[in-house]
Structure 1
Amino acid sequence: MNAATDYPGRQANTPTTSFLAADVGGTHARVALMRVSPDPGRGVEVLAYRKFVCADFPGLAELLQAFIDGDAQVPVRHCVLACAGQVMGDEVLNDNLAWPIHPPQLRQALALDDVAVLNDFEALGYAFDTSIARNGRRLCGPAIHADGPALVIGPGTGLGAAVRLPGPAGDVVLTTEVGQMDFAPHSIRERELLAYLAPDGGYVPYEHIVSGPGLLTAYAALCVLHGETPRLATPEAVTAAAAACSDARAVEAVEVFCAALGSFAGSLAMAFMAVGGVYLAGGFLYSMFTLLERSAFEERFLHGRSARALLSRVPVWVTEHGRHGVLGAARWYLRRGAAAGAIPRHAGSIP
């Protein structure tokens, strides 16, 4: 099934009035009340916005109801969800979500006419453009980029990525599950880490190293390999200790994380010829930008030999996640409606 999915019972037309757009990850959910602007030049307006901790709610229906009761204060009949994972049948499949998500049940519980679903990084792909870079920080590569495919990559609770392909009729965004690809060690230490995580061999996905929980896993494993007892319990504690150089294993874990992220991003940039740039998204990375700058990220991103000439021309930016997910979901939702002739063409454009 395609990542972007509609569910039975919805009205035929995408709304031209207010609707919900939610960006649901493993740790946080960002929810906005959106409205198509009456001004053709403005595209869509954010009427209300709030960020929630997923663990504070027993399910997504309760979380969205809290937003509707406290922030929307108007009848809402339409919703678009950008979710970590992929839609299979009537369920969004992802091991990192706080609870199961069944869009048909959600539609019924909230009395919605329409619940549309797409992958969260697919939504980011529709939001990210060259203007986003101006609000981010350049990690490596040139300050300008060529026209061509662009990547958005985000280590958070999991590891997600999407590729944006420019086209004459508008950009197309391809969702991926590249975080589930086999981790490929580069250094001797990474080989030892892989052997520890899979002593009998077998599958270890990239997100088991390159994510927030992956950083904590690497830290704990490195402590064991050095005969030490782990004393840090969160990814934030590991990055803080690494920044302060107060824990040698935290420093080593961050070095492994950043280097592995560089290899991962460089491999994807080669696969998709991402001359349009690579955007590393999320508050987790943004908060550790200085650690990334002084790490082996760039050297591992550039790979070697002939690939280096290509990858040295690819700018890499680090930017906060912020509202980009809900804006991208709204952009996709309204573009879909415009393509069907249900709403004015201008409504698919978000400034």
Structure 2
Amino acid sequence: MVRPHLTPVSITLQADNSSNAGGAADVGIDQSDRQVRMAATPFLVADIGGTHARVALMRGTHGDTGDIEMLACRVFVCAAFSRLSDLLQTFLAANVQEPVKHCVLACAGQIMGDEVVNDNLAWPIHLTPLREALALDEVAVLNDFEALAFALEGPLTDGGRHLCGPQACSNGPTLVIGPGTGLGAAAHIAGPDGGLVLPTEAGQMDFAPNSVRDREVLAQLAPQGGYVAFERIVSGPGLLTIYLTLCALDGQAPRLNTPEAVTAAALAGGDAHATEAVDMFCAALGSFAGNLAMVFMATGGVYLAGGFLSSLFDLLARSPFEERFLHGRSARALLSQVPVWVTEHGLHGVRGAARWYLKQGTFKPAASRHAATHGASV
């Protein structure tokens, strides 16, 4: 769970080399020249989740298309490394010949001072020690689902599987939502120069039960009452939590001990509690997605991202997801016009983070400090 009272923010952390003799000459460089140099220079991008890290060497392509070239990419299991710097160094040692001085991180959680704060990460992330350990001039950071929302300008919208609602979307805000180790969400609002992305910590909102069985599960999780986040229910670990709680409510010993095992048992149809757990998970995801679609008036559509959901697609399509997404009464008229797709997370996070980074124009000589467009320099 993320610590309370943190403002969503993206930051750029740069080395202070203001005494560098070359700094004065750089001041006069035209912004367009700087952007050309920025596009041509490879930089490191890492999409850091609670379970996997997707790391790539990227650079912008020349011209006006805004395309991004991926020079190398690998996926790592975060728990295999004792700290993030070791993981990134492993990638650099295997894939990079020339020194890389600029890095952008898309991380679950929020930035508080020099630290990325989220209990779902495999290790704490402190930005200054990371920059120093890898001899970087700059580390820029944004939320991982903020990065996915920037990917809505690219291939994230291609190849998704239609779940419910109309096949075609209208103009309007678009949401990307993903249950994985945690529960992330961000909104993309169309507009000039690619529009605006709004990161959220919506996964930390209070879970609201809908059915009697939901209330029984909630009472089991919080017998004295109190706060239970949506993320506690709508995530990979949340699916296992639902299954274990249902077994406890019915006085039966659980046979399964991982979210993957619960998913497999539900797909096979051989375990009633696994089937019920998946249905309850999908229903809660529908409520969560519908809530956010109402908040943002997401007539541009909702994208449910992640391989976890792709593996559940057939069960998701038969589940109470759509009914709970539509809510009721007047809300139903709006939400019935919102298309919902399921898409793979894949490398969209690193592509979206790279797109964000190039747009910010933060890639400058180390002598120059610059605040990110919607964040702050440290």
Q: TM-score higher than 0.5 here? A: yes
* 2:9 aligned residue: 3
2:327 to 285, 300, 303: 303
1:110 to 108, 128, 134: 134
Which deviates further from its counterpart, 36-45 or 253-262? 36-45
Alignment of 1:97 with 2:121, yes or no, is yes
CA distance in 2 between counterparts of 1:41 and 1:187 reads 49
CA distance in 2 between counterparts of 1:299 and 1:2 reads 31
8 Å contact from structure 1 (residues 10, 114) kept in 2: no
Question: 1:36: how far off?
Answer: 1.8
Q: For structure 2, which runs of at least 5 residues remain unmatched after alignment?
A: 1-6, 18-25, 27-33, 367-378
Alignment of 1:258 with 2:274, yes or no, is no
8 Å contact from structure 2 (residues 155, 348) kept in 1: no
* 1:132 aligned residue: 156
Question: 1:40: how far off?
Answer: 4.1
CA distance in 1 between counterparts of 2:207 and 2:290 reads 14
The amino acid that maps onto 1:29 is A
CA offsets per residue over residues 326-346 of structure 1, 9 Å max, x none? 000000000001899x9xxxx
The amino acid that maps onto 1:9 is A
Paired residues in the alignment total 342
CA offsets per residue over residues 70-93 of structure 1, 9 Å max, x none? 122321110000000000011000
Q: What SS is found at the alignment partner of 1:270?
A: helix
* 1:58 aligned residue: 82
Aligned-pair Cα RMSD in Å: 1.9
Alignment of 1:68 with 2:85, yes or no, is no
Question: 1:30: how far off?
Answer: 0.2
CA distance in 1 between counterparts of 2:325 and 2:142 reads 29
8 Å contact from structure 1 (residues 255, 295) kept in 2: yes
Alignment of 1:121 with 2:121, yes or no, is no
2:243 to 206, 216, 219: 219
What's the TM-score once normalised by structure 1's chain length? Answer: 0.94
CA distance in 2 between counterparts of 1:27 and 1:88 reads 22
CA offsets per residue over residues 1-22 of structure 1, 9 Å max, x none? 5521011416797733000011
1:100-249 to 2 correspondence within 5 Å?
100-129=124-153, 131-249=155-273
What's the TM-score once normalised by structure 2's chain length? Answer: 0.87
Work out which of the two has the higher radius of gyration on C-alpha atoms and give 1 or 2. 2
CA distance in 1 between counterparts of 2:156 and 2:116 reads 28
Alignment of 1:336 with 2:367, yes or no, is no
The amino acid that maps onto 1:80 is V
CA offsets per residue over residues 238-294 of structure 1, 9 Å max, x none? 011001111111001001100000011001100110000000001100111001000
The amino acid that maps onto 1:22 is A
* 1:347 aligned residue: none
1:340-351 to 2 correspondence within 5 Å?
none
8 Å contact from structure 1 (residues 10, 115) kept in 2: no
CA distance in 2 between counterparts of 1:81 and 1:10 reads 20
2:46 to 12, 22, 27: 22
Q: What SS is found at the alignment partner of 1:231?
A: coil
Question: 1:42: how far off?
Answer: 5.9
Question: 1:168: how far off?
Answer: 2.6
The amino acid that maps onto 2:285 is L
Q: What SS is found at the alignment partner of 1:128?
A: helix
* 2:338 aligned residue: 314
Change (3 A) 1:95 1:213: same
Change (3 A) 1:223 1:75: same
Change (3 A) 1:168 1:298: same
8 Å contact from structure 1 (residues 151, 277) kept in 2: yes
CA distance in 2 between counterparts of 1:274 and 1:130 reads 18
8 Å contact from structure 2 (residues 156, 348) kept in 1: no
CA offsets per residue over residues 279-332 of structure 1, 9 Å max, x none? 000110011100100000001000111111111110000000011000000000
Change (3 A) 1:81 1:10: farther
Moved over 6 A (4+): 10-14
